Amino acid sequence: MFKNKIDFYYKSNNINYSKIKLRKLINIIKSKNIEDIMNFLGNFQTKGAILLKEIILNAYKNFSRQIEYQKQNVYIKNIRINKSRSFQKIRPAPQGRAKKIKKQFFKMILILNQEKNKQKWDKR
């Protein structure tokens, strides 16, 4: 029997957190069940885990509104992090100088699917 493969895209903009810190969590989360992810992220008290949990929960709620689904079969197919705008400000420095500070924001794209994604391992 042919199953419909429907990908649901959820986009979150202007996130103010380090990409490097989030990528460690994202690599663990990819291609896992939503319920397992919520249990996993619930054990962490870091800002990144709380932020990621909120974004995934919002994506899951929007997915459930638009598509008929079974709760056990919703997986995260992929998570992408892209650069967004950057905020620049000037901070005073000693001896009358000024230094520029760049605060970067990024956007996250979640792709949800009802079937588990079978990924090949990359040798890098």
**Which CATH superfamily includes the segment(s) 8-113?**
Ribosomal protein L22/L17 (3.90.470.10)
CA 20 to mean position of chain CA atoms: 12
Q: Which of 122, 106, 101 is nearest to 12 (CA)?
A: 106
Which of 14-18, 66-70, 77-81, 117-121 is predicted with the least confidence, judged by mean pLDDT?
117-121
Cα torsion angle, 57, 60, 64, 68, sign: negative
Report CA-CA distances (Å) from 43 to 39, 56, 84, 105.
7, 15, 29, 26
Q: What is the pLDDT of residue 2?
A: 41
Q: What are 63's two structure tokens?
A: 């997915």
Residue 5's pLDDT is what? 64
User: Residue 70 pLDDT > 80, yes or no?
Assistant: no
State how far the Cα of 71 lies from the Cα of 12, in Å rounded to an integer. 23
